[in-house]
Amino acid sequence: MARSLQSLLVGILFLLALGLNAQSQADMFRKPGVIGDSLSQGFFGATVEKKTQNWAYPVLVSKQAGSSVTYNELKGPYINLEDVLKGDCGPICLGLSIIGGNEKTYSLPTHAGITGAEYTTVLRTSGKCEDITAKKWAKDWYWKKWYWYTYRWVEVADCQEPDKFHKFGLRDAGTQMEVMEKVKPSFVFGTAGANHVLCTALSTSLTCLDEARYKRDIREVFRRMGNIGSVRGGVLFTIPNVTAIAFLEPYKDPSNRASYTGLKAFFRNSVSSPDQILDSNEVKTINTFLTMLNNEIKAQAAANRYAVADLKVLFDDIKQNGRPLKSTSGWSPGNAQANWPLPGKPGMFGLDGVHPNMYGHSVFANELIESINSTYGYNIPKVSEYTAWYYDSLNRSPVDLKKFLTENILGQFISWIVGIFT
Amino acid sequence: MDKNKWMLLIGATIAILLAIIIFKNKDEIQESVSSVTEDRDESNQSSSGFSSGFMNFPEAPKPDEDVLVSQAEKLWPHAFEPKDPNRRERVRKEWQDFAKVYPKNLYIPNEIRGTLTPAEEKSVIETLDAYTSIDAKFASINSASKYANPGTEPPAPNQKDVSPKEMTQYFDYKIQEIESRIELLEYTMEKSRLSSIDESTAKNDIALLKKELASLKDVKAQVPNS
């Protein structure tokens, strides 16, 4: 009798736990909110448009969790190089894309991730002002006496127009941080760390590294996030090794000069200055910075009880071994590489060698889903990576960019990539 | 007929209608998936020449289980949108028309421009190297100065360390690119009906580009032996 009662109680508790878990997942994803950068906005060599925003990781994860996010839909600026090189985008399409704009807008989007952002811009850049904290001196005319009209110097806001990604992505909603404070999300996608270090790889220079600013601003973001009473959890991810991206490739100086040997941009045919190389000492400095940056992300995740996906470890592994890719019937095109796709080789990145393609975002989303499930005990279904690969136009009809180096457009394409993320 | 029988009849009718709608949609979805693949096959056979026409892994099995189809529909709806089979031919024609008006425009693909001679290819590659090197240097100076305190200035480069030849290549490319972008935007404004917001953005872009162009032409004239 006692044993039966015990079994019954255990059964009830089990069912109750299942119910609570399901309820808490629904509650957790009642209103997901997103801050972030090009990875969250869906930048794809070199533009943001409805199609690419739709395949970005926060959108995939939210949909898989039975929820959704809203964002201002963009139609540029700049270019979708895949479309141009494949002959799918002519001069008018290109012109429209360079101008950019909005397809659809929301007065208060729940997804505020913007291309080129970092924790500093999460706090400071709105859709109207590049830096909402910037000040300038201005004359303030007033009547000092009834007979005396004069002026005094006062400090006023210095609102410079932001870049087009912020302008079209945030519009009148405020900074990314202000958007979150207004949205009051239940769950936060909170990573905007990549551009604090990616700049080194794209400009082959260390000048943009600023540990003090990074630490100050990520801590401020999570202090303010912690003050939003509605947030019940979130997910962060570590930043992959930026010196291992496809944008860079090894180069050995024919005269064995150390400062001319290291990593160069993939499109460079010659190296005429140490400025065009990340040498071994610079790579070491970047890796030290990256470790600091990722430790801070892990610390913030722990302090706020967020899930954290270790994408640094994941991409190190993919760089070495590739990502297994298989249909449900067991057919496989081979492991995917941490590169843009090539004939006979599936790849996870777009033509800039920096940002994931449609398939790459599905891998990204699955890693986040796995960490959310394991942290919160949920059972969010994973995305079918094979299906994403099957419908990914760049994977199914690859473009070998190295065969297009004589296209005049390439210089400006690179200039946009380096300019946005440096 | 009593009330219960009526209810039963109405319920059965609704169930039959729902079943018809669901099966019809399923057929439409499957037709849509087929049309994507067919379209892809057609576009790969296109003679436009822009794309190699190469199809990676044509033997890849289509993920056609219901659960995968519905996931794909939900996550990547653009993959199921109908494609214009004549798109690439239309784009080619657009480029040809554009090239007649602006034959020197840098954005015209080589496919339209015609085969480059080996000397032209060498020149393009050299320009790409010189331009991107200097551009990255400026990007890094810009990045370092983003949060600089008022009054601070970036260190001045030593003129001896700067190659006039490379700077000329840089200015030549930059000037040609900006002139080409202005042409592209003006052409777009002329040929396409822009919304008032997009038109205002385009006009603002053109004004800024023209200002930058004038400044670049001035400074290029100062490069020794340019």
Return the beta strands (E) in A146-299 as ranges.
148-157, 187-189, 233-237, 248-251, 262-265
> B56 in a domain, yes or no?
no
Name every chain A residue with its beta carbon within 8 A of the beta carbon of B200.
Answer: none
**Considering only A1-15, A52-66, A263-277, A350-364, which range has the smallest mean pLDDT?**
A1-15
Instruction: Tell me, yes or no, whether B120 and B215 share the same domain.
Output: yes
Number of domains into which chain B is organized: 2
- What SS3 state is found at B106? coil
| Chain-chain contact of A328 with B40 (C-beta, under 8 angstroms) | no
Q: What are phi and psi of A48, to 5 degrees?
A: -130, 125
Residue A74 has pLDDT above 80, yes or no: yes
Class of residue A27 by CB neighbours under 10 A (exposed 0-12, middle 13-18, buried 19+): middle
Tokens 């080589």 correspond to what residue?
Answer: B110
Adjacent-strand bridge partners of A154: A138
- B128 touching chain A per CB within 8 A: yes
For all residues of chain B together, what is the average pLDDT?
83
**Low-confidence spans in chain B with pLDDT less than 50:** 20-49
Where does the pLDDT of residue A328 fall: very low under 50, low under 70, confident under 90, or very high at 90 and above?
Answer: very high
Q: For A86-210, where are the alpha helices, taking DSSP H only? A: 91-99, 119-124, 164-170, 176-183, 195-203
Of B147, B177, B185, the CB nearest to A99: B185
Of the residues B70, B76, B187, the best mutation for testing chain A's interface (the one with the most A CB atoms within 10 Å of its CB) is B76
> B15 in a domain, yes or no?
yes
Where does the pLDDT of residue A19 fall: very low under 50, low under 70, confident under 90, or very high at 90 and above?
Answer: very low
**Considering only A80-94, A143-157, B22-36, which range has the smallest mean pLDDT?**
B22-36
Instruction: Tell me, yes or no, whether B68 and B124 share the same domain.
Output: no
Question: What residue type is assigned to position A74 of the chain?
Answer: L
| Chain-chain contact of B131 with A411 (C-beta, under 8 angstroms) | yes
Instruction: Tell me, yes or no, whether B112 and B168 share the same domain.
Output: yes
Name every chain A residue with its beta carbon within 8 A of the beta carbon of B71.
Answer: 383-384, 387
Q: Architecture of domain A34-127+164-421 in CATH? A: 3-Layer(aba) Sandwich (3.40)
pLDDT at B39: 39
Of the residues B135, B176, B181, B203, the best mutation for testing chain A's interface (the one with the most A CB atoms within 10 Å of its CB) is B135
Summarize pLDDT for A186-238 with one digit per residue, the tens.
Answer: 999 999 999 999 999 999 999 999 999 999 999 999 999 999 999 999 999 99
Name every chain A residue with its beta carbon within 8 A of the beta carbon of B68.
Answer: 328, 384, 387
pLDDT at B148: 87
pTM of the model: 0.88
Residue A67 has pLDDT above 90, yes or no: yes
Instruction: Tell me, yes or no, whether B16 and B70 share the same domain.
Output: yes
Average pLDDT over residues A178-189: 98
| Chain-chain contact of A99 with B95 (C-beta, under 8 angstroms) | no
Instruction: Tell me, yes or no, whether B35 and B112 share the same domain.
Output: no
| Chain-chain contact of A95 with B61 (C-beta, under 8 angstroms) | no
Q: What percent of chain A has pLDDT over 90?
A: 93
Instruction: Tell me, yes or no, whether B132 and B72 share the same domain.
Output: no
> B149 in a domain, yes or no?
no
- Which residue in A357, A365, A358 sits closest to A387, CA to CA? A358
Residues 62-101 (B) with a CB less than 8 A from some CB of A: 62-63, 65, 68, 71-72, 74-79, 87-88, 90-92, 94-95, 98
**Considering only A74-88, A138-152, B37-51, B120-134, which range has the smallest mean pLDDT?**
B37-51
ipTM of the complex: 0.90
- Within 10 angstroms of residue B46's Cβ, the number of other Cβ atoms is 18
Where does the pLDDT of residue A12 fall: very low under 50, low under 70, confident under 90, or very high at 90 and above?
Answer: low
Instruction: Tell me, yes or no, whether B117 and B207 share the same domain.
Output: yes
Instruction: Tell me, yes or no, whether B36 and B69 share the same domain.
Output: yes
| Chain-chain contact of A91 with B107 (C-beta, under 8 angstroms) | yes
Specify the pairing of strand A248-251 against strand A102-104: unpaired
Specify the pairing of strand A233-237 against strand A32-34: unpaired
Residue A33 has pLDDT above 70, yes or no: yes
CB contact at 8 A, B35 and B82: yes
Instruction: Tell me, yes or no, whether B39 and B114 share the same domain.
Output: no
> B151 in a domain, yes or no?
no
pLDDT at B54: 81
Instruction: Tell me, yes or no, whether B211 and B177 share the same domain.
Output: yes
Summarize pLDDT for A228-246 with one digit per residue, the tens.
Answer: 999 999 999 999 999 999 9
Domain range spanning residue B25? 10-45+63-85
Instruction: Tell me, yes or no, whether B124 and B72 share the same domain.
Output: no
Checking A22-29 for CB contacts under 8 A at 24+ apart, the result is: A24/A376, A25/A65, A25/A66, A25/A376, A25/A378, A25/A379, A25/A380, A26/A66, A27/A186, A27/A232, A28/A65, A28/A186, A28/A187, A28/A232, A28/A233, A28/A376, A28/A378, A29/A62, A29/A65, A29/A66, A29/A67, A29/A186, A29/A187
> B147 in a domain, yes or no?
no
Domain limits of chain A?
34-127+164-421, 128-161
Instruction: Tell me, yes or no, whether B69 and B124 share the same domain.
Output: no
pLDDT at B11: 65
pLDDT at B217: 97
pLDDT at A7: 60
